[in-house]
Amino acid sequence: MNQLKSFASDNNSPVHSKVMRAIMEVNKGDAIAYGDDIHTLEAERRFREVFGKDTSVFFMLTGTGANVAALAHITRPYHSIICSDKSHLENDECAAPEKSTGCKIVRIPSNDGKIKKEQIEPLLGSRGFQHHSQPRVISISQSTELGTVYTPEEIRDIARFANENDLYLHMDGARLANAAAGLNCTLAETSKFSGVDVLSFGGTKNGALFAEALVFFNQDLAREFEYTRKQSMQLLSKMRYVSAQFNALFYEDLWLDNARHSNNMASLLAEKLGEIENVRITQKVEANAVFAILPEKAIEMLQRQYFFYIWDRERNEVRWMTSFNTTEQDIDDFVAAIRRSVEDSD
């Protein structure tokens, strides 16, 4: 099978060479298992450097694992978890959050992947009524599944509301790096300093092989999480290989270079698409995703040359994602292919 160039997801990109090298470098001799090795201590130190000293970090293997373990740890089965109807949590985790937490997932309709406190407020009517699940956690994604980004003010608004109403704020930061790069702010400003209690922080989409972390800013919530991680089957014995990846991403801000480049490629794609008739961009391009509507026949033709997902079949809306390894030439070639497909579909 021919390997098609992918604009489907940053999950399809390779591992950054500096991350791969870091993995090779720690591949020497023995190291104490389960996180008691020097590379893990170093990675934990780097997380505290980035997010501040009141930070507890636990390394994990998958983003779904981080989300699910976080939610399982901070809820009881009679609680509910509030999130956007576009969230990965709701749509792409095979109901693992429901299975592992027992909680009801309450979806808030959203056109751009974001939710607002005004939409959450009416859901609190069930509070204290023993026949209803009890709202406990708000989960937001940064950047969102639609490539949009919450501003720190928007997050603070939700965090304040959560705080006033005895709710926790969880952030799915599988692409926090892209959000911070897009906002031109630090990772902490768009999470901890905006009032997030617990963050699923992603390295995999930012050039790692498999490196995710659960980061607690609310220290009360972090208590005994090591047991939840183990029960969630996310405790890796050869932890040094995950830690090495984070050390590489934080070294000289490789994470930021990767995220900036990825975002710039999405902006370039969006800019060039503006010159093509019959292609309409449907979401703000604030991170590394471009959503667009184009003729059905053009999508079919394009999919013979490139791998990407149709987001909404009824609307002929597609999702194109860029990554740290997308080049300007890739964008030029892709835009030329889109132009040809759209013209030929007439």
Interface contacts to ligand PLP, rule CB under 6 A: 11, 62-64, 88, 141, 145, 172, 174, 204
Closest residue to ligand PLP, based on beta-carbon distance = 63
- Whole-number Å distance between alpha carbons of 106 and 260: 33
Q: Which residue has the tokens 């008739």?
A: 277
Provide, rounded to whole angstroms, the least separation between the CB of residue 182 and ligand PLP: 15
Q: Which is nearer to ligand PLP, 42 or 85 (CB)?
A: 85
Closer CB to ligand PLP, 35 or 203, in the complex? 203
**Minimum distance from residue 134 beta carbon to ligand PLP (Å):** 25
Contact predicate 169/157, CB 8 Å: no
Phi/psi at 193 (5° precision): -75, -10
Question: What's the min distance (Å) between Cβ of 11 and ligand PLP?
Answer: 6
How large is the angle between the packed helices 254-273 and 176-183, nearest 10 degrees? 70
DSSP 81-136: EEEETT-HHHHSSTTHHHHHH-PEEEEE--SSS---HHHHGGGGGGTT-TTS-EEE
- Give the contacts of 167 (CB within 8 A, at least 6 positions apart): 82, 135, 136, 137, 138, 161
Least distance (Å) between residue 273 CB and ligand PLP: 22
Residues 6+ apart with CB under 8 A from 181: 256, 259, 260, 262, 263, 287
Over the Cα atoms of the chain, what is R_g?
Answer: 20
Q: How far apart are CA 32 and CA 95, in angstroms?
A: 35
Contact assessment for residue 342 and residue 332, using Cβ atoms and an 8 Å cutoff: no
Residue 178 or 341: the one with the smaller Cβ distance to ligand PLP is 178
CB of 75 to ligand PLP, least distance (A): 18
The residue among 51 and 201 lying less far from ligand PLP, judged by its C-beta, is: 201
Q: How far is the CB of 40 from ligand PLP (least distance, A)?
A: 20
Smallest separation (angstroms) from ligand PLP to the CB of 64: 3
Which CB, 172 or 257, lies closer to ligand PLP? 172
The residue among 114 and 339 lying less far from ligand PLP, judged by its C-beta, is: 114
Measured distance CA(144)–CA(287) in Å, rounded:
9
Give the residue with the Cβ less far from ligand PLP, 9 or 341: 9
